[in-house]
Amino acid sequence: MKTRGTTARMRSTVARWSNRMLRPFGARLVPLAKPWDEHFQRWIAKAKQNGMDPNDIGDAEWADDPLPHALERHYLPHIRPESRVLELGPGTGRLTRHLIGRCREMVLIDYSEFACEFLRDYLRGKNVSIHQVSTPRLPMVRSASVDFAVANGVFEHFDPEETLWWLTEFHRVLKPGGTAALNFANLMTPAGTEWLKKWSAEPGSRCIFRFYHPEMMGALACAAGFTSVRITTQESWVAYAELTKAAQAGV
Ligand SMILES: C[S@@+](CC[C@H](N)C(=O)[O-])C[C@H]1O[C@@H](n2cnc3c(N)ncnc32)[C@H](O)[C@@H]1O
């Protein structure tokens, strides 16, 4: 049986080769949309009509994601003006826009071609590199070259093995002593189980969210090599993980 990752990789290879063959005729395949692209497209269209930033519209639509709290408590404390920051799954840059002026450089990674293209325009002139990926691998990022890795609203969609692959890659690219911070869907609160019910539309269909017990996230972080794991839970369906790589090998 093919995995979703294998299918995505095959699609991307076929699309790349097809586009190479179509180039002499001035044509190209339009990329397959990813699940959140229609939200991003709607925010962008609405913002254009009203002369707004699409991310203000996104913040209002996704007000159930406590981003201001996460920024203040879990993300910004890890950023210094000299930091190189990697963000996984920036979407339209709802979080990115709060980080980019506070660090030296950002590396943005998303599997959505639409999001990557939007960000190239939105962040033009900023010290940022943007990479579209189809697997949990970052060959374009050197080992031990990143001070802080962050992902908001991303691990809540990953199956455990995908979480492990990404955490392993975060651990590789972080400098010794560097930190990764992310939020995830916590099943172990009443709000978490309500969130699962709300998003499990019909028997037989898969919920777009993946839920974790906080200890499960901790176990995956340890398996990826992190030596310091801080999990913060609260009443809401969202929990946070702040994971630090040992300052010296083996410590
Ligand atoms: C719910 S959106 C969150 C966007 C943004 N971080 C925010 O908080 O507004 C999830 C983001 O993760 C990206 N994403 C989801 N799965 C991914 C994967 N396997 N690899 C890379 N990016 C992924 C999506 O394209 C999207 O940009």
Q: How far is the CA of 91 from the centre of ligand 1 (A)?
A: 6
pLDDT in tens, 13-32: 555 566 677 777 766 665 57
Ligand 1 pocket residue status of 110, Cβ below 6 Å: yes
4-244 is classed CATH 3.40.50.150: yes
Strands 128-132, 146-151: pairing is: unpaired
Q: Is pLDDT at 157 greater than 90 in this prediction?
A: yes
Q: How far is CA 68 from CA 57, 95, 115, 152, 218, in A?
A: 15, 9, 22, 11, 24
Cα dihedral 170/176/181/185 (nearest 10): 60
**Ligand 1 atom 14, closest CA:** 89
**Ligand 1 atom 1, closest CA:** 153
Mutation pick for ligand 1 pocket among 111, 182, 208 (CB with most ligand atoms within 8 Å):
111
Cα separation, 132 vs 192, in Å, equals 31
pLDDT in tens, 168-182: 999 999 999 999 999
Host H or E run for residue 235: none
> To the nearest whole number, what is the mean pLDDT of the chain?
91
Ligand 1 pocket residue status of 98, Cβ below 6 Å: no
Ranges of each domain in the chain: 4-244
